[in-house]
Amino acid sequence: MLYRRRKLDLPRGELDTPVLFPVRNIGKRSSDNTPTYVGTIPEFSAAMINARSIRNRDPMWQRISNGVTLREEMDVPEDTIVFADSGGFDFANEEVDTTPAKTLDTQSQLDADILGTVDIPLSRENRAAENQRRIDQSIEYALKASDHHDGVGLLFASVHGYDPETIRNNIQYLEKNGEFDGYALGSMVPIRTDYKKITKLILSARNATDKHLHVYGLGGLVYQPLLLYLGVDSFDSSAFIRSAGNRNYLIPGFGGEEIRNIEELDRLPCPCPVCGQKELDEIREDRTALTQHNLWALATELRRFRYVAESGRDIEEYLDLRFSGNEVTKRAYETAKQQMRRLT
């Protein structure tokens, strides 16, 4: 069992882990379409933002440069914890238009609590040599960030690799040559359907460091319990927004359900503050409500796992049940279990 509970010591206080950082769209489009959740879902007093897209939105960046805080822009309390990633995900197809120093500067102007280093994502479609170059570049960026980091906020080095050796090797190398408070695994999204691979990669990272381990982009309903089982300390997800956009209703244990398949129902199978009060008709018409429910679904998933662990129940038994419904995820979990056994 690698599941673990820790506390992160951040400028704005302590943050209990494992934790999910809901992804905020701020800066990405004309307006941030994320509904209020800070303050309504207690454990989600945190957010993942994209430092690059905020910096590149001129009017917003000017306001921030003139003293408006990021949290004001986001309309959240000042003690909201912010993880600012570099926006490296966008470099999959675009040229890198920043430097480690510039990104750090942006992240500190945003008063970010956690800073992710600049990275260039990999792709399965790339030639191996190109991916090697990208891995190398991301390592170099991380080391530069370590040199420039003034110690305010935690610095997480972004790590990429599609094989266990590379992940292990990168983390050890960064551990020797830089100063980081944790590591964040990137490039997982393009290979997210290869559960076996993802599991291996996460385990190799988990074994290479005892420090905080974040996994970028895989915090959806299906992956969440798997990541918790594998000892990941934090993850992020935009699944709640994306699903709402597709009129997809998330239910722990079932995954997503398209609302049009259940139109005849009056009440939904969820007691959250949204579904507990409203009828399906109302929720269907209200994308914000649907988004909020979806976030509650992610919170419920996390709460259940914690409950199972805390009450001394057998987590593997819980996961056996939890993954029994879907052949693909079941196999993924079986693989994870085997790999785990081999470790102990």
Partner 1 sequence: MSDAFTITDEQQDYSQYDLEANPFPYSPVPAEDPEIYCGQQHVSDKISSTVSSMLSTGKSKHLVVTGKYGNGKSHTLKYTRSLLRGRDDVVVGYVAQPGEGFLDIYHEFVYDLGFNRLQELAYEFLASVARDVTDTNPIGASGMESLIDEGDVLLSEIVPESIRRLSDVTKFADFARAIIHMVYEDTNLYAWQWLTAEGIRYEQRKEMEIHSALDDDTMGVRAFTALKNMLLELGYTGIFVFVDEFESIARLSPKDEQATLNSIRHLMDQNSSGLCMLFGCAPEVWQDVMSEYHAFSERIGEEVALKPLTSENLYELVRDYLDQERVSSTENEGIDPFSEEALDLILQTSQGNIRQVLSMCSRILDDAAKSQENKITVAWAEGKI
Considering only residues 187 through 206, tell me which ones interact with partner 1, judged by CB under 8 A.
197, 200
Residue from 42, 127, 150, 342 touching partner 1 (CB under 8 A): that is 127
Nearest distance in Å: CB 258, Zn ion: 16
Work out whether 322 is an interface residue with partner 1 (CB under 8 A): no
Q: Which does residue 176 bind out of partner 1, Zn ion, none, counting CB within 5 to 8 angstroms by kind?
A: partner 1
Number of shown-chain residues binding Zn ion (CB under 5 A):
6
Q: Is the peptide bond before 18 cis (omega within 30 degrees of 0)?
A: yes
Partner whose binding site includes residue 272, from partner 1, Zn ion, none (CB under 5 to 8 Å by kind): Zn ion
How many angstroms separate the CA atoms of 192 and 58, rounded? 34
* The one among 74, 272, 298, 309 contacting Zn ion by CB under 5 A: 272
Applying CB under 8 A, does 260 fall inside the site for partner 1?
A: no
Amino acid at 232: V
For 19-72, the DSSP string reads EEEEBP-TTTSSS--PPP-TTTSTT--EEEEEHHHHHH-HHHHHHHHTT--HHH
How many CB atoms sit inside 10 A of residue 62's CB? 10
Pairing of strands 13-17, 6-10: antiparallel
Contact between 20 and 236 under an 8 Å Cβ cutoff? The reply is: yes
Question: Which partner, partner 1, Zn ion, none, binds residue 270 by CB below 5 to 8 Å per kind?
Answer: Zn ion
Considering only residues 171 through 190, tell me which ones interact with partner 1, judged by CB under 8 A.
171-177
- Compute φ and ψ for 276, nearest 5 degrees: -60, -30
Contact 87, 53 (CB under 8 A): yes
Quick one: which of 71, 168, 214, 293 contacts Zn ion (CB under 5 A)?
Answer: 293
Per CB under 5 A, 104 contacts Zn ion: no
Q: How far is the CB of 173 from partner 1 (least distance, A)?
A: 4
Instruction: Tell me whether residue 194 or residue 257 sits nearer to partner 1 (CB atom).
Output: 194
Which residues in this chain contact partner 1 in the complex, by CB under 8 A?
Answer: 127-129, 132-133, 135-136, 139, 163-166, 168-177, 197, 200
